[in-house]
Amino acid sequence: MAVTIQIKRGTKAGLPALAPGEYGLATDTGELFVGGNSGNIQVATLSSDGKIPEGLLPEMDYDPAGSAAAVQTNLTSHVNNKNNPHGVTAAQVGAYTKEESLAAATAGLYGLGSDAVPDDVFNDIYSRLIMIAQDKARLIVTVKDASGARTDQRERRRNRIRG
C-alpha cells in the first residue's frame, strides 16, 4: 500500500503560515520551508557551487579572521607553558617524583655526591640526552629482572632510539 505525503505549496509570497514541523514548498522559487514557533523557516539548500548561500547562514557576531589568530596565539602560549598548567602529578602518570628518583644509589650512578639534589640528576640526564641527540655519545640500555640479573643489553644510536 503506497503512502502519499502532501506538502503545502504556493508561491513564496503566498505560502501560508505553516504549523510547527509542517513542510511547505515555494513553487515559484523551489525553496523549501518548515513551520517554526515564530513562522516559516527556510530549509538551507546548496547553491550551484555546493555551498550554503550567504543569506541562509546565521549572522556572524565576531571577526572570524581575528578569531583564528587569537586561538592560535592562546594555543601556542599554552603549549609553551612548561610550568605544569594542569597540575599533573608524577603519581598520575606513573612516574617517580624528583625526590623518589634521587636515592644515594641513583646519585652514585651519575657520579654525583650524596649531597646532590634532584635537579642535579635531571640536569645530568638531560645533558647526556642532548649529547646522544647530537651523535656525540651512545646510549647503552641494560635491562635487569627483579632479582637484579642482567637479561638484555643493547647499544642503540640516536636514529634507532626514535623508532
The domain locations on the chain are 8-47, 99-163
In terms of Cβ atoms closer than 10 Å to its own Cβ (0-12, 13-18, 19+), residue 131 is: middle
| Predicted model pTM | 0.33
pLDDT given for residue 79 in this prediction? 86
Cα angle 56, 64, 39 (rounded to 5 degrees) comes to 25
pLDDT in tens, 111-157: 666 666 666 666 777 777 777 777 776 666 565 555 656 554 444 34
pLDDT given for residue 33 in this prediction? 92
Residue 34, classed as helix, strand or coil, is strand
86 pLDDT higher than 60:
yes
Scored b (16 or more CB within 10 A) or e, 75-98 reads: eeeeeeeeeeeeeeeeeeeeeeee
Where does the pLDDT of residue 102 fall: very low under 50, low under 70, confident under 90, or very high at 90 and above?
low
